[in-house]
Structure 1
Amino acid sequence: MRINSSVPFRVLAAITLIAIGCSARVLRAQTAAPAGETRTFVIRNARVFDGEKLLSSTDVSVEKGLIKAVGKNLKVAPGTKEIDASGDTLLPGLFDSHTHTWANALEQALIFGVTTELDMFSDYKFDAEVRKREADGQNLHAADLRSAGTLVTVAKGHGTEYGLSIPILASPADAQSFVDARLAEGSDYIKIIYEDGSAIGRSIPTLTKDEVAAVISAAHNRKKLAVVHITTQFFARNAIEANADGLVHIFEDVPPAPDFAALVKQHHAFVIPTLTVDESSTGVASGASLVADERLSPYIDAPTAANLKKAFPRRVESKENFANALAAVRTLHTSRVPILAGTDAPNPGTAHGVSIHRELELLVEAGLTPTEALLSATSVPARAFGLDDRGRIAPGLRADLLLVKGDPSTDITATRNILAVWKTGAEARRAEARAAVEKEKQEIAAAKASPPPAGSESGLVSNFEDGTTAAKFGAGWSVSTDLTAGGKSTAEIKWVAGGAEGSKGALQISGMVSDAVAYAWAGAFFSPSSAPFEPANLSSKKAIRFWIRGDGHPYRLMFFTKSGGYMPAVQNLAVTTEWKEIVVTFSALGTDGHDLSGILFTAGGLPGSFQFAIDNVRLE
């Protein structure tokens, strides 16, 4: 996860989605195998990459979701489904070893061949629900999940800025109890933040080296892995010296020191470089080429495509920085340090599932052979994280499989030419996913052809000059809080005298944010359609302009769209006690406005009372 407060971060949006109940609908859609599906079949004559080596013209038989045999001319029971894979390549299902999981991310990942995600920070309650469904056999059409759950950070450190209420480590003496609390929540391993913001010219609090070492030791006391988020070589070295099991980013700030790789090798650590998000952090949208790839594009929905085309703001030293990251991976690989493929999805320029194919391409650019890149997404992460039942194609292991056209051992981009994906022998619903994307395209075309809401021509939403809270079009303003998610936050909206630039009045939003739920919110919601939460075509507009002032608490603007699955794009707002005019473009929020269903001005992130006001809200 990269730091950049100016870019909407979709993990927060996902948490909000979970809060309003949409994730439950997504999870219910992930059903068990249909009645009569035995998950038994045989794949014939495939080129097989078994997670360690290539086998020519080989059969793989699957029985009840497990690999039964690997060899030539395998005998199977009469009536067994046979798949001719002559000229194609069969791989173990892929790992993405660094993600942040939310909503339908795991289902999306499976469509693109990722059968296991190693999550590096998410809502542990969401993780628990996924685990339960997995144990009950109700998650066959979504990637399997292992998760760090709640990360380890300090007050106001990285990880606290996304709207979650994060427990913080106070001192090294608290390390064991802190780690034990995470394990009680269900964490499969421990993720530690060791990040002071210096890599992007910021200064934020972080753990001390002693605290990092104490947390690592506490995890090891419970026989759990401890991995460390870093973005500079200085912190990377410290983390390795503190006995971290792995680094979950690679640094870009300086070229790798001559002894850095040897240090990592000496400590038997692994590295998950996340080159895709590193590339996006330089201002280059790492995922743009994926959207343009005809082998992948029919399965990429509109919100995913929009995020893949995003990037972090470009810095002057961007090109040089990315070269440092590539050089660091190259020297680590030369020293035989285990490299694991991970994307840091869903940061700007990345997405679940599809971005692993760009990550593999970048690992080859960094010096790995295509076969070594395949290792980084199969047997290497399985071994590093102790998942001995997957990552290879061998008798007795899970039938997590990926069948592609062509030979990715010579052309790594052949992993994009997917013919079929199986998770424990259940085939992924790729045809349904493709049909859904095609339907979405048709709906978008129809929405763009529909008339805009009556009264929206001028773009003015409300200027509050008439002494009321009325809007010029749509269903108007209403209160929105986390009560629907079991929270206890409250809000009130009312007209008050004295608006921006000496105007007559403004809309005041006040209330209290509770810490009863981690994703608390409270604010004012505008429905641009005549019916609440129905989409409206506002594609003739390109931005929202408004005035705002408040009490210094964190505030956010959220845009809800139908094509975004009603998951909001989020923009943090810099609010002071003085009136300030802010303009946010639709493109910055990942929409063109053709299906805008709601705009929310909200408090959140810090519990307690709040009060802010908005004025002269308009779309232009």
Structure 2
Amino acid sequence: MPRPRAPQHPILLRAARMLDVDRGELVTPGELLVEGDRITAVAPETVPDDAVVVDLGDLTLIPGLMDMEVNLLLGGPDHRSPLNPVQDDAALRTLRSVANARRTLRAGFTTVRNLGLFVQTGGLLLDVALKKAIDFGWIEGPRIVPAGHAITPTGGHLDPTMFQAFAPHIMPLTVEEGIANGVAEIRHAVRYQIKHGAKVIKTCASNGVMSHTGPAGAQQYSNEELAAIVDEAHRAGLKVAAHCMGDLATRNAIEAGIDCIEHGSLATNETLDMMVENGTFLVATTYLADAMDVSHAAPELQAKAAEVFPQSRLTITRAIEKGVKVACGTDAPAIPHGRNAKELVALVDRGMTPLQAIRSATTVAADLIDADDRGRLEPGLLADIIAVPGDPLADITTTENVRFVMKGGQVFRNDTAPTED
């Protein structure tokens, strides 16, 4: 349970405008009453006498944004060496995540899914530990939906020894750390993540752009193995997110009951129609196709990126046109932590309206994680509120310029506040 905070005064939050995400309209002016960690009134008619007024001036209030695919344990400061997987121990990696979590929160992203460790940890679920430290109030960061270790086969996309093509027996991972082959090991691996605090299960249904094993999009787990992952997760009430690029692998993942496809780069129209029919979510991570730096990758991986990225852009445009439930996700640190809003800009470039892009990071993301307590600025919901300049419905790039961040009624950033000389 979060550590109880000292009683605080109610807060009357004022700004020039406020976004009603459901109606797709700006409300003028924007006024929210916050008591404790909740919004208690919109445009309140009465305000408690002891309320503190926070006047943000010419800004627009919007719900805290959500990123449905990050890995806070990777990337960030001083992360230049390709040997990082064997240079960072679990303690250093966890400390690295503290900086990444703070940067993500200050960028206006108040909730994230941390989708899968794939490094040696001795079986520790570092993202669960990070979530607990944030919830206790020890450090600053977003609300985290942790996956623990990603479940992948030997040589699969998130087998870390595959990325650098390590020699045999270098940095072997255990079943508890996610390397699982066959139904029995898979059930063990999934149960271990659930036992120790995972709130979503991440797996790999196909290889990826940075995979040395197989052609682009090749399926890696068998259909029987995918079904076992889903069976274990769903019986525990957890959803499954699957890294998946290839069309056949995506179809088989949907048929296995996987809830969310990460990337979906090579999905055909027929497969996208299956996603609509089944209500399968897509976390597009489409900004990667514009900005991921593959210049230091092996030549064969650079060639794969040159093949896949243009197709991926077109796939996401078709997914948007067909009405697939697209949720915002960046795959940070594949793009740097703190630049998460670049994904919203890319989604608009692929064909979303700015309102649709904002919904992908608010109401759609909330639906994906089964959270009915956030994603809108309404009474009774969590006071996860950010503010940006201008009109985000006219210019989505305003979401890259966050000036104010509140999470759970606590202010973590306020660039409008006067500074002391």
Same fold? TM cut 0.5: yes
CA contact (8 A) 1:59 1:74 kept: no
| 2:173 counterpart letter in structure 1 | S
Look up the match of 2:149. 150
CA contact (8 A) 1:62 1:399 kept: yes
Pairing partner for 2:316 from 316, 323, 329:
329
Tell me, in whole angstroms, the C-alpha distance in 1 between the residues paired with 2:212 and 2:157.
14
Is residue 63 from structure 1 mapped to residue 35 from structure 2 by the alignment?
yes
Change (3 A) 1:96 1:214: same
| 1:155 counterpart letter in structure 2 | T
CA contact (8 A) 1:106 1:144 kept: no
CA contact (8 A) 1:282 1:312 kept: no
Is residue 244 from structure 1 mapped to residue 215 from structure 2 by the alignment?
no
- The one-character-per-residue Cα deviations of 1:581-606 (angstroms, maximum 9, x if unpaired) are xxxxxxxxxxxxxxxxxxxxxxxxxx
CA contact (8 A) 1:250 1:274 kept: no
Tell me, in whole angstroms, the C-alpha distance in 1 between the residues paired with 2:302 and 2:9.
50
Normalising by structure 1, we get a TM-score of 0.55
Tell me, in whole angstroms, the C-alpha distance in 2 between the residues paired with 1:420 and 1:164.
44
Tell me, in whole angstroms, the C-alpha distance in 2 between the residues paired with 1:267 and 1:214.
19
How far is 1:157 from its partner? 2.2
How far is 1:249 from its partner? 1.6
Look up the match of 2:337. 352
Look up the match of 1:618. none
The 3-state SS of whatever aligns with 2:341 is helix
Tell me, in whole angstroms, the C-alpha distance in 2 between the residues paired with 1:219 and 1:367.
33
Superposed, which structure 2 residues align to 1:420-435 within 5 Å?
A: 420-429=404-413
Is residue 90 from structure 1 mapped to residue 61 from structure 2 by the alignment?
yes
| 1:89 counterpart letter in structure 2 | T
After superposing the two structures, state which structure 1 stretch, 143-152 or 86-95, moved more: 86-95
Is residue 410 from structure 1 mapped to residue 394 from structure 2 by the alignment?
yes
| 2:313 counterpart letter in structure 1 | L
Is residue 210 from structure 1 mapped to residue 197 from structure 2 by the alignment?
no
Tell me, which stretches of 5 or more residues in structure 1 are unaligned?
Answer: 1-30, 285-309, 436-620
CA contact (8 A) 1:343 1:359 kept: yes
Look up the match of 1:132. 132
How far is 1:260 from its partner? 2.1
How far is 1:345 from its partner? 0.9
Tell me, in whole angstroms, the C-alpha distance in 2 between the residues paired with 1:195 and 1:164.
21
Q: Which runs of 4+ in 1 moved over 4 A?
A: 197-201, 281-284, 310-314, 316-320
Larger Rg: 1
Tell me, in whole angstroms, the C-alpha distance in 1 between the residues paired with 2:41 and 2:208.
51
Look up the match of 2:102. 107
Change (3 A) 1:134 1:353: same
Superposed, which structure 2 residues align to 1:437-476 within 5 Å?
A: none
Tell me, in whole angstroms, the C-alpha distance in 1 between the residues paired with 2:11 and 2:362.
22
CA contact (8 A) 2:209 2:304 kept: no
Look up the match of 1:376. 360
The 3-state SS of whatever aligns with 2:382 is coil
Tell me, in whole angstroms, the C-alpha distance in 2 between the residues paired with 1:315 and 1:276.
17
Tell me, in whole angstroms, the C-alpha distance in 1 between the residues paired with 2:9 and 2:190.
39
CA contact (8 A) 2:127 2:147 kept: no
- The one-character-per-residue Cα deviations of 1:361-406 (angstroms, maximum 9, x if unpaired) are 0000111100000001111111111122211111111111111111
The 3-state SS of whatever aligns with 1:418 is coil
- The one-character-per-residue Cα deviations of 1:232-267 (angstroms, maximum 9, x if unpaired) are 22222221122210101221xx5x423122111111
Change (3 A) 1:95 1:56: same
- The one-character-per-residue Cα deviations of 1:391-450 (angstroms, maximum 9, x if unpaired) are 11111111111111111111000112222101111111466xxx9xxxxxxxxxxxxxxx
Tell me, in whole angstroms, the C-alpha distance in 2 between the residues paired with 1:227 and 1:75.
45
| 1:83 counterpart letter in structure 2 | V
CA contact (8 A) 2:10 2:48 kept: no
Tell me, in whole angstroms, the C-alpha distance in 1 between the residues paired with 2:142 and 2:63.
13
Tell me, which stretches of 5 or more residues in structure 2 are unaligned?
Answer: 74-96, 162-170
CA contact (8 A) 1:199 1:232 kept: no
| 2:345 counterpart letter in structure 1 | E
CA contact (8 A) 2:244 2:261 kept: yes
Tell me, in whole angstroms, the C-alpha distance in 1 between the residues paired with 2:152 and 2:357.
32
Tell me, in whole angstroms, the C-alpha distance in 2 between the residues paired with 1:198 and 1:403.
36
The 3-state SS of whatever aligns with 1:428 is strand
CA contact (8 A) 2:273 2:322 kept: yes
- The one-character-per-residue Cα deviations of 1:7-65 (angstroms, maximum 9, x if unpaired) are xxxxxxxxxxxxxxxxxxxxxxxx997x67x2631123542224423241131111112
Pairing partner for 1:388 from 368, 372, 375:
372
Look up the match of 1:76. 47
| 1:352 counterpart letter in structure 2 | H
Look up the match of 2:166. none
Look up the match of 1:363. 347
Look up the match of 1:52. 22
| 1:195 counterpart letter in structure 2 | S
Change (3 A) 1:169 1:397: same
Change (3 A) 1:100 1:164: farther
Pairing partner for 2:385 from 369, 385, 401:
401
| 1:126 counterpart letter in structure 2 | L
Change (3 A) 1:107 1:238: same
How far is 1:84 from its partner? 3.2
After superposing the two structures, state which structure 1 stretch, 127-136 or 92-101, moved more: 127-136
| 1:118 counterpart letter in structure 2 | R
Tell me, in whole angstroms, the C-alpha distance in 1 between the residues paired with 2:239 and 2:9.
33
- The one-character-per-residue Cα deviations of 1:262-282 (angstroms, maximum 9, x if unpaired) are 111111100001112233447
After superposing the two structures, state which structure 1 stretch, 365-374 or 84-93, moved more: 84-93
CA contact (8 A) 1:32 1:138 kept: no
Tell me, in whole angstroms, the C-alpha distance in 2 between the residues paired with 1:258 and 1:160.
30
Is residue 271 from structure 1 mapped to residue 282 from structure 2 by the alignment?
yes
CA contact (8 A) 2:131 2:146 kept: no
Look up the match of 2:94. none
Tell me, in whole angstroms, the C-alpha distance in 2 between the residues paired with 1:386 and 1:93.
16
Change (3 A) 1:172 1:165: closer
CA contact (8 A) 1:402 1:418 kept: yes
More strand by share: 1
Change (3 A) 1:198 1:234: farther
Is residue 339 from structure 1 mapped to residue 350 from structure 2 by the alignment?
no
Change (3 A) 1:419 1:346: same
Change (3 A) 1:107 1:39: farther
Superposed, which structure 2 residues align to 1:483-494 within 5 Å?
A: none
The 3-state SS of whatever aligns with 2:327 is coil
Change (3 A) 1:353 1:240: same
Look up the match of 1:10. none
CA contact (8 A) 2:373 2:382 kept: yes
Tell me, in whole angstroms, the C-alpha distance in 1 between the residues paired with 2:271 and 2:9.
47
Superposed, which structure 2 residues align to 1:220-299 within 5 Å?
A: 220-251=234-265, 254=266, 256-281=267-292, 283=294
| 2:61 counterpart letter in structure 1 | L
Change (3 A) 1:181 1:328: same
Tell me, in whole angstroms, the C-alpha distance in 1 between the residues paired with 2:403 and 2:32.
16
- The one-character-per-residue Cα deviations of 1:504-540 (angstroms, maximum 9, x if unpaired) are xxxxxxxxxxxxxxxxxxxxxxxxxxxxxxxxxxxxx
- The one-character-per-residue Cα deviations of 1:557-604 (angstroms, maximum 9, x if unpaired) are xxxxxxxxxxxxxxxxxxxxxxxxxxxxxxxxxxxxxxxxxxxxxxxx
Tell me, in whole angstroms, the C-alpha distance in 2 between the residues paired with 1:311 and 1:42.
51
After superposing the two structures, state which structure 1 stretch, 191-200 or 270-279, moved more: 191-200
CA contact (8 A) 2:250 2:271 kept: no
